[in-house]
Chains A and B, each alone.
Chain A
Amino acid sequence: QAVLFPDAIDVEAPEYSSRALLVLLFLEQDRSCSRCFRAAVPVHARYHRPGEGTQEALAVLQSPEVLLCCCHGHLSAECWEPAEVDAPCSSDNTSPCQWHSTKHRPEYEESMLRVPVGLREHNSLVCALTLLTTGLCSGLILAAACKYGHF
């Protein structure tokens, strides 16, 4: 169960015309472990701008924040603090609920996704060779059509 902010995303826009995303994951307790919550998030990289001097673009994934809902009788130390965060109650119910933020130590402060990108240095070579090859190929086909066609 996941909720995205903003919820209307253009999945085809390149990276530089897209805005940052916020993802809320509603987790259930893991069955095998009493205080474990697991989630796996697939990440798909969009086309980034071609790089200048570097072959990779970096996308930063912030370490997740953990929010606690003091509902359904699950109480813990954080429930004594006043609730600070407004977030939807669940993925189906968009009315706001009160969530408590927790202090936890993340494994990594942030994760870095390295996305391969094209290189601007290739610009002139690529344009020249592409146009040359397409010109050559069109010339070949034109010659064949003129030679074997009925005009």
Chain B
Amino acid sequence: AEGMAGVGAALLAGLLARLALVLYGLHQDRTMRVRYTDVDYRVFTDAARLVTEGRSPYGRATYRYTPLLAWLLTPNVLLVEAFGKLLFVAGDLAAAVVAYRALRRRGITARRACGCCAAAWLLNPLPMAVSSRGNAEALVALLVLATLYWVEAGSVGKAAVCYGLAVHMKIYPLTYALPIALRLSARLGRGEGALDAPGGKKTPAKFTFMARLWHLFVKMLNRDVLLFGTVAGSVLVALTVIFYHLYGWEFLEHAYLYHLTRRDIRHNFSPYFYMLYLTAESKWSFALGLAAFLPQLLLLLVVSIAFYRDLAFSCFLHTAIFVTFNKVCTSQYFVWYLCLLPLVMPSIKMSWQRGVLLLFLWFIGQGLWLTPAYFLEFKGYNTFLFIWLAGLLFLLINSLIIVQIISHYQEEAQVAKKLKQR
């Protein structure tokens, strides 16, 4: 009962803070020149208006999302325009509840679980700002958390449905396929490492690296993994077919293909932005794009295999690496890994001074980027070199934080004990 009171208080605090920001946003939109609401929210609303008129949401230029979002936001047009923001705030709170229940399921005390959710998500200014500005990231965060919760709980079917929906909304959860497959295949195993030889004994002399990789691949083709893959694949294919039938090629082009081939040469947090901008028309453009993609891919593979036993940690690292090394990075993307931070916090044994220092460095890195970006965008100064250098510094800071998190990670004793009991 004490635990529930704590959770209720944290949820209430999170709700009030977000509502306050939504109201402030309405005020700033009306009075100041720089609008609080994100451009994306206007795009969603315009697309929802087209849907209420019975037309395709892709008639709205730059609408690059699933039609489900336009359908969900039709009350923006029919009732009140702030409906979407309230929906995203509700998504935020629901995500916090799912994270809390996932932590409790693992055996974390109520007080600690509540503290992690509050500190990392409910009272964190970044998710608050993202949802109150009208970005839809909260919905994908909720679906991802639900997927991870159901995988840990053993309901493979429900997890697969949430996963299929999540991938349909945003493509990045596709990278979780490998950690989830490894995790599902390991539930039947005996807590061995991913590359251990068959039989669970470590015999490095007898089995080569390639043999172990093959064994890993074979192990992944078990019943749970196949069920997960089939259900998630069916959900994804069903949604794609329905929307293709309704909206045609436009839907495929804007909702999926655009995100895969996107080259954004406008300034953003990515360390590659200036390089891609300067070489946009040269013959090296493709090779450089590939050179940017390979470290991302290699790191994702290595991290999946190294940490698959703790699914939340593996996914957190996945997303953090994906966002940090991506060719395009905006502040909304940070929500993708921040939503997993409550699940990961109990396993990271770090002194709070170190934690606060890393957090401080992270915000300083963003501030150092935002300052020259403001001067470029709103004052017209040529600050490209400063923006580029700030981007590289931010990359270094993010990598340092990831390395610190990895080196201070300790698997919970509870998890190891449960695996021994199986």
**Inter-chain contact A117/B399, CB cutoff 8 Å:** no
- How many residue pairs link A and B with beta carbons under 8 A? The number is 123
What's the Cα separation between A114 and B379 when bound, in Å? Answer: 11
B325 pairs with A134, CB closer than 8 A: yes
Instruction: Encode contact with A along B20-56: 1 for CB under 8 Å, 0 otherwise.
Output: 0000000000000000000000000000000000000
Contact B402 A134 (CB under 8 A): no
* A116:B275 contact, CB within 8 angstroms: no
- Contact partner, A145, options B194, B291, B306, B385, Cβ 8 Å: B306
Q: Do A126 and B271 form a contact, CB below 8 Å, given A116-B384, A151-B194? A: no
A133 to B195, CA, bound (A): 30
A146 to B288, CA, bound (A): 27
> What residues on B are CB-neighbors of A14 within 8 Å?
265, 280
Number of interface residues of B (CB under 8 A): 51
Give, as a whole number of angstroms, the nearest-CB distance from A48 to chain B: 10
**Which residues in window 148-180 of B have CB below 8 A to A?**
none
The segment out of B11-19, B91-99, B295-303 that lies at the interface is B295-303
Closest to A150 in B: B193
As a 0/1 sequence over residues 49 to 62 of chain A, the CB contacts with chain B under 8 angstroms (1 = contact) are: 11000011000000
Digit string of B301-333 for contact with A (CB within 8 Å is 1, else 0)? 011011101000000000001001100000000
Tell me if A12 counts as interface (CB < 8 A to partner B): yes
- Would you list the 8 A-B pairs with minimal beta carbon distance, nearest first? A149-B306, A116-B382, A137-B399, A138-B295, A144-B406, A144-B403, A55-B382, A130-B275
A-B contact pairs, 28 of them (CB 8 A): A9-B61, A47-B265, A116-B381, A118-B384, A122-B274, A122-B278, A126-B388, A130-B271, A131-B275, A134-B272, A134-B295, A137-B398, A137-B399, A138-B295, A138-B325, A140-B400, A140-B403, A141-B299, A141-B303, A142-B298, A142-B302, A145-B299, A145-B406, A146-B302, A146-B306, A147-B407, A149-B307, A151-B305
